Amino acid sequence: MRRIRSLSITIVFIGFIFVPVALWLVNTDAEFSSFEKRRLAEFPAPGGSWESIASFSKRMENYYEDHFGLRDQLIALYSRLSIQLFGKSPDSAVTIGRDKWLFYNAGNSLRDFMGLLNVDVVQLEAWHRVLRDRQEWLYDQGTRYVMCIVPSKMMIYPEFLPARIQKQAGTPLMREFLTYLDQVGFSGTVALRPPLVAAKDEGQMYFRTDTHWNTDGAYAAYLTIMDKIQTWYPDVTVVDAARRESRQVKFTGDLGVMLHLSHMLNETAKDVTITASCSSEKPFSRDDFIHPDGQLAGDPKYFPLQNGCPDKAESALILHDSFGRYMTPYFDESFQTVIYSQHVGFRDLKGFVSKVRPSVIVDQRAARFFFRMVRPDPEIESYVLRKHFQESEDVRFAHDRDQFISINDIILSTGAWGILLEATGDDPFLELEFDHRPEADSFIVRVVLTSPEETTLQFFYTTSEDRGFSPERVISKSIRKGRNELLFRLPHPDTRGRIRFDPGFAAGLYVLHSLQIKGERFRI
């Protein structure tokens, strides 16, 4: 009997070892894991290089770890035991809170909740100016712009986080940026956190087992956005709450899936339809997304979708991520044409925007990705800078050799084409002052300079807190040999009137044709 028992244990042990291998050999490899939301490792291709040979065993190990038999079942078992026996999340990207609320904490979400993603005022102002320029560029084409950042679930439901995390709550970068925009008077923002927090008394705004808001949270956000849009277009209609017909459905969120416990971590959620819907989806022409060279402009799966109601008056372009999908049933009913573009930045759609010229653009991003909507666009910045410089009559400095208060390693003289700057040492610079009061929204600098060599021009500026010149307060611009024209803003919102101008690092004769500083006022 003892021998039979030992033999049985041996057979079970061998089976436990070899069944995963056998299943791996007969099963087709998956390319993507829906649980872990990532692409699985591919079978390593042999190579002739020494580097390829040396890394083959590691690549083979990674491949097998992603494809051995019963992999998902064993991970699910581990996840269940980890939660039920130890009360801990088996995945470091997911935090388990009170009452089985799940929170996504990767991608800096947790660090952001704790207020650890800080930026300085120069960065906040740079983001603000990107939005200002975009707003004006669109306004000149007849399009209004509204930007909204979706707060993470942690920011709306911190009470369900573990106590150790609640105690470390700070100011998320999203709130810091929105506060700054409010202080400088940017009119294109819709703050979604206050209405979402207020609506918690009426119902649940986010899924318990998912990263996203639910249909109620999306509806609260939609109402807030439409309230802003109606200040520009009063006749735009809003979907009334009475038209929201709901039923209860079983729902498994992406966080439950990530833990391989969709059968255990699920919830009952609303599925909402709009009664008496007037919208209908329309196909887009492929020709709208072809470059002059005949190539498609981007990945076809991200091409916009078009919807809307024929009897409505205005049009909208909704730039959104996965959160935006929950608002589409409502926007569909509010506009004659509503175009949805998911995961495509504004910069990549400028040509399309100029072509369709929607009444309004709604630019939506999740909090952990909002920086993607404020990436600089040199073309739009140049358009607005040139326009503002030409229009501005607020001249603070106009090139005049008598206005330079300090000179180093430079011999000044006047020529037919401007002020001649002969750099005689290794540290040539001119110091100047301009009247920074009354304070403008920003200061625009225009420099026209002929350089003897390819080099770097620098502008050191001062602030109320840093009245001396330092490497932390400098603008550097590459210039070529010959004539250069530069137009840029002084980056700090609290720039003072003392400037140091370094024409370049190369010795030789520079010609300063023009140096002007003007105050800029944002008009929208």
Query: What's the rounded mean pLDDT across residues 389-398?
Result: 95
What pLDDT is recorded for position 26? Answer: 45
Split at pLDDT 50, 70, 90, the class of 523 is confident
- For residue 495, report the phi and psi dihedrals to the nearest 5 degrees: -70, 135
pLDDT digits (tens, 9 = 90+) for 361-386: 999 999 999 999 999 999 999 999 99
Query: What's the rounded mean pLDDT across residues 320-348?
Result: 91
| pLDDT over threshold 80, residue 71 | no
Split at pLDDT 50, 70, 90, the class of 173 is very high
| pLDDT over threshold 60, residue 394 | yes
What pLDDT is recorded for position 421? Answer: 94
What pLDDT is recorded for position 42? Answer: 62
What pLDDT is recorded for position 5? Answer: 54
Q: Of residues 9 and 405, which shows the higher confidence score?
A: 405
- For residue 2, report the phi and psi dihedrals to the nearest 5 degrees: -65, -40
C-alpha distances (whole Å) from 460 to each of 91, 363, 514 are 48, 35, 18
How many other CB atoms are there within 10 angstroms of residue 158's CB atom? 14
Split at pLDDT 50, 70, 90, the class of 1 is low
Query: What's the rounded mean pLDDT across residues 269-289?
Result: 78
What pLDDT is recorded for position 12? Answer: 44
Task: Report DSSP state, residue 346.
Answer: G
Q: End-to-end alpha-carbon separation of the chain, Å? A: 89
Split at pLDDT 50, 70, 90, the class of 403 is confident
Split at pLDDT 50, 70, 90, the class of 348 is confident
What pLDDT is recorded for position 69? Answer: 44
| pLDDT over threshold 50, residue 78 | no
Give the fold, CATH level 3, of 392-520.
Answer: Jelly Rolls (2.60.120)
Q: Output the six-digit token pair for 112.
A: 């952001």
Contact between 30 and 39 (Cβ < 8 Å): no
Strand 360-366, strand 395-398: pairing = unpaired
Q: Of residues 524 and 298, which shows the higher confidence score?
A: 524
Cis peptide before 452 (omega within 30 of 0): no
Cα 472 to Cα 262: distance, rounded to the nearest angstrom: 51
What pLDDT is recorded for position 61? Answer: 56
How many other CB atoms are there within 10 angstroms of residue 137's CB atom? 22
| pLDDT over threshold 70, residue 18 | no
Beta-carbon contacts of 502 under 8 Å, excluding residues fewer than 6 positions away, are 428, 429, 457, 458, 459, 460
Sequence-ordered strand ranges (E) for 201-240: none
Q: Output the six-digit token pair for 451.
A: 């350089």
Average per-residue pLDDT for the chain: 85
Cα 315 to Cα 360: distance, rounded to the nearest angstrom: 7
Q: Which of 38-42, 136-140, 213-217 has the lowest mean pLDDT?
A: 38-42
How many other CB atoms are there within 10 angstroms of residue 124's CB atom? 20
C-alpha distances (whole Å) from 251 to each of 267, 296, 325 are 5, 37, 16
- In the chain, where does the domain assigned CATH 2.60.120.260 lie? 392-520
